[in-house]
Amino acid sequence: MDPWRNFSVLLIVAALIVGGVALYRRHAIQQRQAEERAALETQLPRPSGQLMRTSRSLARNCSGWTSDVAGHALDEPMQQDYQRASTPTTTRRCHWTR
């Protein structure tokens, strides 16, 4: 057999081994990160119903604020931007509510 052919076969085998090790390490790192993330999520407190009601009430109270809260009047384009931003478009549910 030609020595260059042996070298190229050896090089291909080495590349396959290195690629396999890299994939295995990447999978192991991702799995470890997922386990750490799951452990941290179990440590987070779940919001209570009272907290959710309070935050909704605060959002309703703040939605009535007008543009003169800043102490100066806004020009027409800024007023329109403010109105668009303060008008709720959809009702979103938090991921922890059922």
Q: Specify the pLDDT at position 24.
A: 97
Q: Specify the pLDDT at position 44.
A: 77
- pLDDT band for position 9 (50/70/90)? very high
pLDDT tens per residue, range 28-70: 999 999 999 999 888 877 766 777 777 777 777 665 565 455 5
Picking from 66, 67, 62, the residue whose alpha carbon sits closest to that of residue 78 is 67
